[in-house]
Amino acid sequence: MFDATTILGYKAKGKAVIGGDGQVTFGNAILKGNATKIRKLHHGKILAGFAGSTADAFNLFDMFEGILEQKKGDLFKSVIEFSKEWRKDKMLRRLEAMMIVLNTEHIFILSGTGDVVEPEDGKLASIGSGGNFAISAARALNKHTKLEPEELVKESLAIAGDLCIYTNKNIKTFVLEDDK
């Protein structure tokens, strides 16, 4: 895990939501509190979040966006191709970075070691130093409340912000809705 951020992705009720906190740290110092670590990709049809350094995030987001274009937005095919490319690149595979990518059909966790993980429940994924706090909160809220997906993500990240010193409560979210 990274002492860097918290990203949470959630799929439910025909929606896909990604959220992230805004804190940027360097060692034990907070450098910035309002960073955006999530993006909409491929004409706003794919959501992505990143844990790792900023320069690495820009490179990997650009690389993934290019593959999405080649694969005409097919998320499943794109994550497989992206994983191969990330793993093969001698410089990129050394990055200590992870990504969550999702749409209303799929959700994946990606890493430079070649991991392409679709969560067992197919709904929730988290990365970053506060990821375990956020996903625990999300699972509990999902089971015991009727919160809408975006509110569930915001509440879960706020709980992670209470517990993880590398996570703040300056939370940003993006939402996709099923076209159906």
Active site residues: 5
Whether the CB-CB separation of 122 and 109 falls below 8 Å is answered with no
Structure-token match 């990365």, residue found: 127
Tell me if 167 sits within 8 A of 23, measured CB to CB: yes
- Angstrom CA distances, 119 to 13, 92, 110, stand at 17, 24, 11
Beta bridge partners of 39: 48
Residues contacting 45, CB < 8 A, separation 6+: 73, 103, 176
Instruction: List C-alpha distances in Å: 11 to 47, 104, 108, 143.
Output: 11, 6, 11, 14
49 three-state secondary structure: strand
Angle CA(152)–CA(167)–CA(96) in degrees, nearest 5?
105
